[in-house]
């Protein structure tokens, strides 16, 4: 029964990973051992997941499910990968609300909040190394750098929303990368 297999497979992926790229080895393992995909197809999905909005886990589940068992396969696989969210995160939500006023909870959160800031900065560093890689000075991409600065300006100075900023960034990407491809900078 392909649906049950898909569901269990992505349930396992969901419970044993913590989002983002940490899912890739698990997905790779499951897809290859079931013969649902080849290694290069898995690599392709990761690339496509980067191009489309949404969490990597959902993107992979949808893609793998659809390739193996059509639209219902996609839904079953996506549901599987969401089970931890529907159970554990829901429990955590109840727990967090219930003990919000407790002293110990507040003391723990006092230590957890700065961890979150540290993690966000770490993600920014990792993302920067991927997103601004190019040829300028041997390691930077000038279109990406210019777009990054423009986005920073519209976000902080003009308080643009995230969707608006992303659309602007996509348009600038088309324009500036077109220019870059047309020839070297006139300076």
Partner 1 sequence: MTKQQWRRALPIFLTFLKFGCFTFGGGWNIIAQIQKEYVDKKHWITDEELLDFTSVGRSIPGIMVGNASVLFGYQAAGVPGALAALLGIVIPPVLIMLGVVYVYDLVKDNLYVARAMIGVRAAVVPIIFSAMMKLFKSGIKDLFCGLIAVGAFVLCLFTNLSNVLIVLLGAVAGLAWQEVRYRRDLS
Please give the residues from 69 up to 108 whose contact with partner 1 meets the rule CB under 8 A.
71, 74-75, 78, 81-86, 88-90, 92-94, 96-97, 103-104, 106-108
Q: How many C-beta neighbours within 10 Å does residue 95 have?
A: 11
Residue 71 CB, shortest distance to partner 1, in Å, is: 6
- Residue pair 99/105 in contact (Cβ under 8 Å)? The answer is yes
Q: Is 172 near partner 1 (CB under 8 A)?
A: yes
| Contacting residue, 53, 138, 183, 184, with partner 1 by CB under 8 A | 53
Q: Contacting partner 1 (CB under 8 A), which of 9, 30, 42, 57?
A: 57
Residue 52 sits in the site that holds partner 1 (CB under 8 A): yes
The C-alpha angle with vertex 158 and arms to 156 and 160, in degrees rounded to 5, equals: 85
Helix (H, G, I), strand (E, B) or coil at 33: helix
State which of residues 1, 33, 40, 51 lies at the interface with partner 1 (CB under 8 A): 51
| Under rule CB under 8 A, residue 113 binds partner 1 | yes
Residue 72 · residue 102 · CB < 8 Å: no
Dihedral angle of Cα 185, 187, 129, 144, to the nearest 10 degrees:
-50
Q: DSSP letter for 140, please.
A: E
Rule CB under 8 A: say whether 25 interacts with partner 1.
no
Residues numbered 116-155 forming contacts with partner 1, rule: CB under 8 A: 116-128, 130-132, 141, 143-145, 147-149, 151-152, 155
Burial tier of 61 (Cβ tally within 10 Å: 0-12, 13-18, 19+): buried
Can residue 15 be called a binding residue for partner 1 (CB under 8 A)? yes
């Amino acid at each position: 029964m392909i649906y049950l297999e898909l569901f269990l497979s992505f349930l396992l992926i969901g419970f044993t990973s913590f989002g983002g790229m940490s899912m890739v080895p698990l997905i790779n393992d499951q897809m290859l051992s079931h013969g649902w995909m080849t290694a290069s197809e898995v690599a392709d999905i990761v690339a496509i997941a980067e191009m489309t909005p949404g969490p990597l886990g959902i993107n992979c589940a949808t893609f793998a499910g659809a390739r193996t068992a059509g639209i219902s396969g996609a839904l079953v696989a996506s549901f599987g990968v969401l089970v931890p969210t529907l159970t554990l995160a829901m429990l955590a939500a109840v727990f967090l609300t219930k003990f919000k006023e407790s002293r110990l909870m507040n003391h723990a959160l006092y230590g957890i909040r700065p961890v979150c800031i540290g993690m966000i900065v770490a993600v920014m560093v990792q993302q920067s190394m991927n997103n601004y890689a190019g040829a300028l000075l041997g390691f930077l991409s000038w279109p990406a750098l210019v777009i990054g600065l423009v986005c920073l300006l519209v976000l902080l100075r003009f308080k643009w929303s995230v969707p608006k900023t992303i659309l602007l960034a996509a348009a600038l990407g088309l324009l500036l990368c077109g220019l870059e491809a047309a020839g070297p900078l006139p300076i």
